[in-house]
Structure 1
Amino acid sequence: MTRYISHPLIRKDMIEQRLYQLALTSSALKGSCLIVLPTGLGKTIVALMVIAARLHDLGGKVLILSPTKPLVEQHSNFFRQALPNCTVATFTGSIAANKRSEMWKDSQVIVSTPQTIENDLRARRIDLHDVVHITFDEAHRAVGRYAYVYIAERYFEDADAKSRLVLGITASPGSNPETIAEVCENLHIESVEVKSEADSDVIPYLHDRDIEWVRVEIPSGIMELKQRVEKVLVDRCGKLRKLGFNVFEKTSKRELLDLQSKLQAQVIEKSNRDAFSAISLLAEIFKIKHAIELGETQGVEALERYFDRLNAEARSRSGSKASKRLVMDPEMRAAMKALSSPIKEHPKLDAVRRIVADQLRDNPDSRVIIFTNFRDSALMVTKALEDVDGVSAVRFVGQASKYRDRGLTQKQQTEIIDKFKSGEYNTLVATSVAEEGLDIPSTDLVLFYEPVPSEIRTIQRKGRTGRKRAGRIVVLIAKGSSDEAAYWISTRKESKMMAAMSDMHGSIPIQKPRIEQKQLAAFAGDDLVAYVDHREVRSGVAAILEEMGVSVVMRTLEIGDYVVSDRVGIERKTTSDFLSSLIGGRRELFGQISDLARTYQRPVLILEGGDIYNIRQIHPNAVRGALASIAIDFGVSIIMSKDAEDTAAMIAAIARREQQDHGREIMLHGKRSAMMLPEQQEYVVSAISNIGPVVAKNLLRHFGTVAAVMGATREELMEVELVGPKTADRIREVVGGEYKG
């Protein structure tokens, strides 16, 4: 007979009683704890029991944080069912800030994305003083500047020491002991509890999972393509070695990324022509290696789509030098041309058809998930299954839209999952979006289209089967390809992770002193205030300012990104964003600068990032002209910074000078100016790339109206001062070209 959890706050006869979950709950209630538990064994149930105990004993509020909106919705629904007498609120960025503030006051259980809580804390819409518990779902994310880190820090600063308690839950904290220790330190973890599938109290709740590795041969046509592209790789590696950098065809991606970071640091610190050349060559090498990987592990269609994107990037005005050089390389062009002739499809596709068809023929009620690393592959695999009897497949990807590929909305994702549960679809072809936490039912077959070199992602994928009944895992590997390396890397990391977690089991991580933050705070001084536009949270500057001791007040600023006195407003732009505003018809920068100069006596523009003259194909004179216009025509001071930390330090220095040295107070004022008709007309014409404000005025003065400008012939356009053949052709192309969006 099934025994259920009995607790005054938990719905009766809903939660099955499992001894290992009770033991983990007991540990989690003794002190802040990180629990590592395989997927499907009830991490959320442990969190529920901890939450119920805290609310019953202490009252107050509890906070459950999950990294994505779908996960938040999933957890909200579960806690509403499980805690029928508690007020459960769902927080995401799509809910108005003022409404969240009211909901916070009235709720006992708040389920939220971490970014939403971080924003509300920085804007002082909420506080954590009466929060008696926080659960950090997918706790392995609590590294670097992820929102979990800030929230935990604030919690331990603001909440009563006697009533605060943290629980981190994850199936896979990573293989690096230093990273695991960082997670524990950032969340103020006092103990670690680990359960594996080998534990005697867990085994009764497990189902068999058979793992198969299916190796396939790469067809000769794809191998020929690969060899052509590899010639380009050999050439670029040779050029790097001539510059003094020890790079070979087999150099790992991690080593290349490390070299890239070092080179970028050199570029920022001092102008180094060899470093610039090396960075550009590295960009080519990354693109070449990606093409090789796609060809040998994914297939011809995926490679063809990648080459299509590469050509589009090279044709665009904002395209990188690396992409432009690659598409002009004879060997790359030969490889692209070869794709137009028939090449045998990758044998993985045939293996997918066979494996899925066999599974559904033998067990028609089965559910199948196929994981792919790339969206193009997901589309390719879904198409390959269209004509297989008994298979009803659907592609499942993230919300972001990419080149010629619209993402799924959250509503569409939910509809697909519901249809997968009901059986309308029996096969889900998914990218990484289906790996973490989503309420996707247990499946009978998980098929890896390729192995992944991440132990965390591998564990999450495997956890999609074997939850309620026996499951099957099949991993496809292309012989002699990067698949082989990814498989062994993942296997080694998974073993290393379990060894690291076993070593940390029950231990108390050493708390390292936060020396860097103290030094920053000492630099900034006391009682400094900065008003920060809420859209700047993602930049990391606001977080660094707080670490420096500056009181950050989040607001929706009409003008500027930062305000530090009644006369100083600051606009922050990355060098990449700044340069993008000079090409492609984007003119909003000068409108922002104009409003900033009109509103504040001492307007400041901070340009953050690397060398501004070499990261895009824009003539230095054009960049100098824009900077000169901002400084001279608008009277805006321009300050260069290396990175977010340098930007924060500069803003703190300006704030200290204004507020402490000059005794000035902060005053928010000004709204964006409404454009007069002539300004609107100039804006419309200047929106066409290659046309600046001066040429736009010349065109309007000559023709009199926007309609006349747009209706002019090439020859008529060239009669206008500063309008040459290229500009005239561009205007006619934009006005007369067919829309293909």
Structure 2
Amino acid sequence: MYVFKSLYANKIFMHLEHPYLKKDLIEKRYYQESIINSSKNKNSLIVLPTGIGKTIIAIGIIAYQLEKNLFKKILFLSPTKPLAKQHEDSLKNLLNFEKEKIMLLTGQIAPKSRKAIYKQSQIIVATPQVIENDILTNSINLDEFCLIVFDEAHRTIGDYAYNFIAKKYFSNNQDNKIITALTASPGYDRDKITEICNNLFIEHIEIRKEDDADIKQYTHQIKKNWIFVELNYQYKTALNLLEKTANKPIKALNEAKIIFGSKPSKKQLLFVQNEMMSKIRNNKNPSYFNYISMISQLIKLNYLIELLSTQGANQAKQYCDKLKLEQSKASKNLFNNNDFKLGLIHIDKLAQNNEFHPKIQKIKEILINEIEGQKKAIIFTQYINSVEQILNSLKSLDDKIKPVKFIGQHIGNTQKQQIEILDKFRADKYNVLVSTSVGEEGLDIPKVDIVVFYEPIPSEIRTIQRRGRTGRQKTGSIHILIAKNTIDEGYFWASKAKEKKMHKTLQELKNAFENPGVVLKQKKPTLADFAPANEKITIIADVRESKINKKLSELANKNNIELKINQLKVADFVLSDRLGVERKQIDDFIDSIIDKRLFEQMTSLSSSFLRPILIIEDVDAANIFDLKYSRNINIDAVIGAINSISIDFRIPIYFTKDIHQTCDILICLAKREQTEKNRSVQIGSARKVQSFEEIQEQIIGSFPRINRNIAIKLLDEFKSIKNIVNANLDKLIETESIGTLRAKKIKEVCEWERK
């Protein structure tokens, strides 16, 4: 097997040599060669500073796997389409491999077309959501792959698609399969880093820092400037009034021993808010509602204070305008507070007079002093409103400053627009990007000489990503703007501490992997973990139920389930030829009562399946009556709906605490129907063969003014259609829910003669 080694391309540079790498294109760097050789046969987490060549390492490992597993496929995953397109271009430019076999897959490509691409290509670059969906619909076979590259691997926590893909990758056959995970910063929290390692079955960690000996020669000096700005008198006056507004609720909450201290953080407030909401479910003490309202006031005030002190008066005013429209008790109490009213007056004056935050002036000074020739800058801010204000202020400067807005899809720029903006930035049509967090992660923004943080951020991951935008190809500068005596200072120090802790934790984990018997190494599943049950069962699931479908797919091997994804017209799950299940999370259940969808859905369910079932998720049956405290609906309406479903529609109701319980019930029901009752299940078999009772209900229910529920009452009373037709008018009138008008209509229809 070919080992990576260097090749002199000329007297100055050396290049990596491999049959599957194009000659003389990849500069040899010893740390990259070392990481490729140590990681090419192991599930590896590779942590490198932004701009140091993580993609090159991935390409090196891909080249090795192409040679080792000639007939296997390779999957390169990236969180966004622009990033995925970037990687596709890099693979085509650097690999000595047929370009037509390197394909990009995104959600814009139809599922049928994707199936053809899987057959034709050997290297697939894709977004994870596409692969997740194709796994669920059995459109992709992960046993055909020998390597999956997970870019921006710090996302592999919680319910992100990377977790599901990794589990399915190793669920059947584990031979000749590896994972390469790339990130600049997996986070500082040991538990989260461990979670990432476990989710990706990591066996080996490679970590490099900017000041490591083998990295240092490839990095350029970065000048870091921490610029503290002083707020003017008007800003300080407004902030003092807002802080005075908070004094009363803070005092009351301290006296109640709900919070402790005079300046509770956002994290503390959110925690105690959740605690109080939990208490309300078990104790209807009216004072708890007042405490929750006070906590809500403080959360809103904290956010307003942060906006005013770190972003500016215009951003604060826009938030206040939104608060005015709210009908909550917390918002009303704020606007009734005299100190708050005075604070608003000052904020309005600052906004009307265009008294921008002093950070704006500092940005102008930085760019005027440092932008010259071909130099470029990127300005980061967390808030879209700040992007607009910075952009407008820069447009008034001289012609050498050419700013452009660079924001995410959900707030303005489509992915196509993002790519176009970056192309124009490369072509020098713009030289300043004013960006939200979309510019932090992964995107190839080359030759940025100046990075400005409009505010420090407490996340060490995002700080590292922002910082990595400069110093890639030459010396760069970073300017971090900090408003004195504000939350900016706390965020700045928090980020530094977290980054330091991250490197320490990663080194500890790296050392742990090198010791035999480490728990993390044992996380990789064995085939015994996926041992199937004796009899296979089928669950047909609606394609829109993506979250629970993913969970069912994870359980498929262990429970010997064949999960079929289809567009179902009725029900969310078909478990046999007679059993259909509608699943509603509690919020959707309440909403469907309010907007009157519920009974239409139950009518369709009960008329389509001999054994319909409703599952209400995220609630205990014992706590269903507490819904009036968290939803804007009378509890009588909820009880009435439940009674109607179970009595009138004759649909059994299951209550489940969470998605896991719902999966358990679906699996148990499917096993009972298909193995114990020998019922079949097929796509398109949802329509049932009706019983005589149901045919009777359908016939009587077709009479004018008679719905299915009234039809059931008539049949319960008269026992047959014949008896209903022959009954006299008085007898019909006496029947529950019929009355004179309906009775006359029944007789009229029964006795009318065709002409």
Instruction: Please say whether Structure 1 and Structure 2 have the same fold, judged by a TM-score greater than 0.5.
Output: yes
3-state SS, counterpart of residue 170 of structure 2: helix
C-alpha deviation, 1:53, in angstroms: 0.7
Q: Distance in 1 between matches of 2:393 and 2:636?
A: 52
The 5 Å alignment of 1:303-342 reads: 303-312=316-325, 314=326, 322-323=330-331, 326-327=334-335, 331-342=339-350
Confirm or deny: 8 A CA contact 1:571 1:604 kept in the other structure. Answer: yes
CA deviation profile, 1:338-373 (whole Å, cap 9, x unmatched): 43324532111111122122222xx23211111101
The 5 Å alignment of 1:131-280 reads: 131-161=145-175, 163-241=176-254, 244-263=257-276, 279=292
**1:104 aligned to 2:118?**
yes
3-state SS, counterpart of residue 339 of structure 1: helix
Confirm or deny: 8 A CA contact 1:190 1:507 kept in the other structure. Answer: no
Return closer, same or farther for 1:342/1:191 CA change in 2, 3 Å cut-off.
closer
Q: Which residue is 1:697 aligned to?
A: none
Q: Which runs of 5+ in 1 are unaligned?
A: 402-406, 673-741
C-alpha deviation, 1:265, in angstroms: 5.3
| AA aligned opposite 2:357 | H
Corresponding residue pairs, total: 657
Q: Distance in 2 between matches of 1:264 and 1:547?
A: 39
C-alpha deviation, 1:214, in angstroms: 0.6
Residue 54 of structure 2 is aligned with which of 43, 60, 71? 43
Q: Which residue is 1:436 aligned to?
A: 441
Residue 665 of structure 2 is aligned with which of 650, 656, 660? 650
Q: Distance in 2 between matches of 1:250 and 1:350?
A: 30
Return closer, same or farther for 1:476/1:251 CA change in 2, 3 Å cut-off.
same
Residue 18 of structure 1 is aligned with which of 14, 18, 29? 29
Q: Distance in 2 between matches of 1:437 and 1:61?
A: 24
3-state SS, counterpart of residue 201 of structure 1: helix
**1:352 aligned to 2:363?**
yes
Q: Distance in 1 between matches of 2:509 and 2:261?
A: 38
C-alpha deviation, 1:311, in angstroms: 3.1
Confirm or deny: 8 A CA contact 1:536 1:542 kept in the other structure. Answer: no
Return closer, same or farther for 1:593/1:380 CA change in 2, 3 Å cut-off.
farther
The 5 Å alignment of 1:339-738 reads: 339-342=347-350, 344-360=355-371, 363-389=372-398, 390-401=400-411, 407-505=412-510, 507-508=512-513, 509-511=518-520, 527-538=536-547, 541-542=551-552, 545-546=555-556, 549=559, 551=561, 552-581=563-592, 588=597, 590-609=599-618, 611-627=626-642, 630-631=645-646, 634-669=649-684
* Aligned-residue CA RMSD (Å): 3.2
Q: Distance in 2 between matches of 1:517 and 1:230?
A: 57
Return closer, same or farther for 1:453/1:671 CA change in 2, 3 Å cut-off.
same
3-state SS, counterpart of residue 520 of structure 2: coil
| AA aligned opposite 1:63 | L
| AA aligned opposite 2:670 | A
Most deviating of 246-255 and 56-65:
246-255
Q: Which residue is 2:74 aligned to?
A: 62
**1:52 aligned to 2:63?**
yes
Confirm or deny: 8 A CA contact 1:520 1:548 kept in the other structure. Answer: yes
Q: Distance in 2 between matches of 1:640 and 1:277?
A: 31
Q: Distance in 1 between matches of 2:414 and 2:503?
A: 36
Return closer, same or farther for 1:591/1:102 CA change in 2, 3 Å cut-off.
farther
Confirm or deny: 8 A CA contact 1:128 1:159 kept in the other structure. Answer: no
Return closer, same or farther for 1:589/1:528 CA change in 2, 3 Å cut-off.
same
Q: Distance in 2 between matches of 1:11 and 1:526?
A: 51
C-alpha deviation, 1:637, in angstroms: 4.0
Q: Which residue is 1:691 aligned to?
A: none
C-alpha deviation, 1:473, in angstroms: 0.2
C-alpha deviation, 1:554, in angstroms: 2.5
3-state SS, counterpart of residue 378 of structure 1: helix
C-alpha deviation, 1:55, in angstroms: 0.8
Q: Distance in 1 between matches of 2:675 and 2:553?
A: 22
C-alpha deviation, 1:542, in angstroms: 3.7
C-alpha deviation, 1:248, in angstroms: 4.1
C-alpha deviation, 1:300, in angstroms: 0.6
| AA aligned opposite 1:654 | L
Q: Which residue is 1:79 aligned to?
A: 91
3-state SS, counterpart of residue 612 of structure 1: helix
Return closer, same or farther for 1:209/1:146 CA change in 2, 3 Å cut-off.
same
Return closer, same or farther for 1:599/1:490 CA change in 2, 3 Å cut-off.
same
Return closer, same or farther for 1:54/1:275 CA change in 2, 3 Å cut-off.
farther
Compute the TM-score of the two structures, normalised by the length of structure 2. Answer: 0.80
| AA aligned opposite 2:82 | P
Compute the TM-score of the two structures, normalised by the length of structure 1. Answer: 0.81
Q: Which runs of 5+ in 2 are unaligned?
A: 1-11, 620-625, 688-755
Q: Distance in 1 between matches of 2:334 and 2:662?
A: 35
C-alpha deviation, 1:3, in angstroms: 2.3
Return closer, same or farther for 1:68/1:486 CA change in 2, 3 Å cut-off.
same
Q: Distance in 1 between matches of 2:144 and 2:425?
A: 41
Return closer, same or farther for 1:524/1:379 CA change in 2, 3 Å cut-off.
farther
| AA aligned opposite 2:409 | Q
Q: Distance in 2 between matches of 1:515 and 1:57?
A: 22
Q: Which residue is 1:94 aligned to?
A: 108
Return closer, same or farther for 1:277/1:99 CA change in 2, 3 Å cut-off.
farther
Q: Distance in 2 between matches of 1:354 and 1:15?
A: 39
Q: Distance in 1 between matches of 2:294 and 2:685?
A: 46
Return closer, same or farther for 1:549/1:228 CA change in 2, 3 Å cut-off.
farther
Confirm or deny: 8 A CA contact 1:191 1:506 kept in the other structure. Answer: no
Q: Distance in 2 between matches of 1:144 and 1:625?
A: 37
Return closer, same or farther for 1:58/1:480 CA change in 2, 3 Å cut-off.
same
3-state SS, counterpart of residue 391 of structure 2: helix
3-state SS, counterpart of residue 519 of structure 2: coil
Confirm or deny: 8 A CA contact 1:89 1:107 kept in the other structure. Answer: yes
3-state SS, counterpart of residue 46 of structure 2: strand
Confirm or deny: 8 A CA contact 1:544 1:645 kept in the other structure. Answer: no
Q: Percent identity?
A: 38
C-alpha deviation, 1:433, in angstroms: 1.0
Return closer, same or farther for 1:157/1:44 CA change in 2, 3 Å cut-off.
same
Confirm or deny: 8 A CA contact 2:378 2:450 kept in the other structure. Answer: yes
CA deviation profile, 1:572-619 (whole Å, cap 9, x unmatched): 333333444556xx5555544443333223333333336532223334
Q: For the pair shown, which has the larger CA radius of gyration, 1 or 2?
A: 2
